[in-house]
């Protein structure tokens, strides 16, 4: 489930990058697929907790840490799985 959430966060970046090439027909075709995935990913909720700074005195490096909770229903997972299979099949065949 955590890997799915990582991908959710990456989709916005992909959409923005693809939208920068409106003259590229291939990019626009991929954008359509990415947006259809994003509409499903948007049904997954992520709640971010408070961010705390933790300093390592040995390395003098500060790391930001936070807790997050993820909520995805079985139906959304199945919908996402079906859409991924559909898109993969369209690219492979």
Residue ranges of domains in the chain: 2-92
Residue 23 confidence class, pLDDT cut points 50, 70, 90: very high
Contact present, 22 and 6 (Cβ < 8 Å) = no
Q: At what angle do helices 25-41 and 74-92 cross, to 10 degrees?
A: 160
3-state DSSP assignment of residue 71: strand
The answer to whether the pTM exceeds 0.85 is no
Which pLDDT does position 1 carry in this prediction? 66
Between residues 31 and 8, the one the model is more confident about:
31
Number of H helices, E strands in the chain: 3, 2
Which pLDDT does position 6 carry in this prediction? 78
Residue in 49, 40, 35 with CA at minimum distance from that of residue 4: 40
Give tens-digit pLDDT for 37-76.
999 999 998 888 888 999 999 999 999 888 878 889 999 9
């Amino acid at each position: 489930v955590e890997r799915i959430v990582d991908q959710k966060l990456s989709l916005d970046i992909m959409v923005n990058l693809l939208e920068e090439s409106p003259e590229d027909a291939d990019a626009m075709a991929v954008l359509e697929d990415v947006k259809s995935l994003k509409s499903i990913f948007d049904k997954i909720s992520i709640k971010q907790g408070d961010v705390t700074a933790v300093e390592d005195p040995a390395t003098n490096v500060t790391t930001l840490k936070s807790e997050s909770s993820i909520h995805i229903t079985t139906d959304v997972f199945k919908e996402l799985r079906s859409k991924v299979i559909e898109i993969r099949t369209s690219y492979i065949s």
